[in-house]
Amino acid sequence: MRKRIVGKTTYYRYKKLFRSMWLWLAENPGSYKDMWPEWKHNNGKISVVDNYCFACAVSGICCPIKKWQHGCLKQEYGEWSSCNNPEDAKKLALTIANLEWFSYKEFYKKVMYYE
């Protein structure tokens, strides 16, 4: 399997965009990731990334979010995606926006040694 990872500048840009999108989702409960106004198809300037997720886009191998090393669907993202309560959705989106990412150096090593 070919290991891939975006460059350091893109990594930190994606981290910032990830946070921006999730803060918007917190302010707009009932909205979905594909509705974020910054996507080009919504007249924004950002090209769509894998799964509408900047964390997924940094590497096809593993997640840069420390807490989500065993996937996001059984974590806060899975709860958010099936949440019907606007207040709960807002809290979950804020939690997701503030999740800790690995530093680029840590993540690069993780990807390069990933089996």
- For the whole prediction, is pTM greater than 0.85? yes
pLDDT tens profile 44-84: 999 999 899 999 999 878 899 999 887 888 899 999 999 99
CB 97 within 8 A of CB 23: yes
Q: How confident is the model at residue 2 (pLDDT cuts 50, 70, 90)?
A: low
Distance CA 109, CA 82 (A): 33
- Average pLDDT over the chain reads 92
Q: Where are the alpha helices (DSSP H) in the chain?
A: 8-27, 54-57, 76-81, 86-97, 104-112
Return the percentage of the chain with pLDDT > 90, whole number. Answer: 76
- Look up residue 14 and give its amino acid: Y
Please give the Cα distance from 44 to 92 (Å, whole number).
25
C-alpha triplet 43, 47, 52: angle, nearest 5°:
100
